[in-house]
Structure formats: structure tokens, C-alpha cells
Structure 1
Amino acid sequence: MITVVAVQPLLGQNPDPPAQGPEFGGSSPIGLVVTLLMLVALIFLIRSMNKHLRKVPPSFEPDPEERDQAESASSPVPGARPSPEQGGRPSPGTSADSSPPS
């Protein structure tokens, strides 16, 4: 009972509003400069991305001539891996050069 009587005046008080100076809510010129710099950087990034995207081909599928050349240059044994001399990767467990260690 004593604690309720002691706490009751504290609960009835309104807290003080936070201190706000005369410049509260106003923006500074530094914020404007930072925002403009970010806008300029964004414009340059978009222009650069558009230049790079124009260089990308519309399709990544090979032309029919290239496809025929790739099929004729493929390994004669179906499912066989091309050797490193033919542009294939070496098998796991073998070194890139086939010379014996000295």
C-alpha cells in the first residue's frame, strides 16, 4: 500500500517534451550538397550501365556456322573428355603439365 501511494504522484506527472532548438527540422546546405553529389553519381552510373548493356549480344546462342564447327571439332568418342591440348581441363588428380616430377 505504501509503494502505491509513493509511486502514484510519479505516474501522474507529464514528462518534459524533448528539447528542440530554433533550427530543429531545418535542413543544412551540406545535406543538399551530399544529395546533389549522389544524384550526379547515379546519373553517371546509369549512363555507364547503358553503354555496357548496348555491347551485350541479343542472344548467346552460337551462329549455325559456329555450331557446325564446334560439332565437327568435338571428340570422336561420345562422352570422352577433351585433352588439355584441345582446350579441355585436366582430369582431377593430374597436374596441368604431364611431365614427371624430378
Structure 2
Amino acid sequence: MRSLTLVVLGIVLGILIWSNPTMQAFQQSFGERITQQIQGTQDDGWLERQAARLGGALAAENIDRFTTRRSYLIASTYTVDLDGDKTPELRALGIFGRFFTLDEQS
């Protein structure tokens, strides 16, 4: 029974390590989030949707300049400080290939 537990724990640990999101995955997720936020503040016209997609793409392309990633092997934290004042606008946890907001400044 003990060896089965160790095998299961090893498999879970392996999955956690394998699914720890990268900075590239965070960039993509952040871009999608920005796109959704922009679309939520505008009408649903074609031009507005295209502008939102462009804004999200530009934000995603440059977010790594303002983001600190700390990897803990099984998960990572992402701290976004857009204005460089040492007060992060966003902190997120990446685990199992997903991102969860820990703290967000409006």
C-alpha cells in the first residue's frame, strides 16, 4: 500500500512539474484577459472587436518587460508592475497549466 501511495504521489508531482505554465503561456493568457476587458467596455461592432484584439496582442507582446516570474517547480507566481513603483498591479499563480489571480489593483 505504501509503494502505491508513493507511485501516485510521484505521478501527481510529475504532472505538476510538467504543467507548470511558462512566461509565454502567461503572455497569451494576459493578452486574452486584456482583450476581454477592452471588449467589455465597448460596443460589439467589428471595429471595436478588432481594436480590442490589437490591444490585447500588444499588451501580451510587451507584458514580459513588466512581469517577474518565480518558478517553484510545481507552480509559478507572476507579479506585474506596470509603472515600476514596486506595487504590483497584478499577482497571479500558475499551476496545472492555468492562471489564478491572487491580487489585483484597480
Q: Structure 2 length normalisation: TM-score?
A: 0.28
Who wins on radius of gyration, i.e. which is larger?
A: 1
Tell me the TM-score normalized by structure 1.
Answer: 0.29
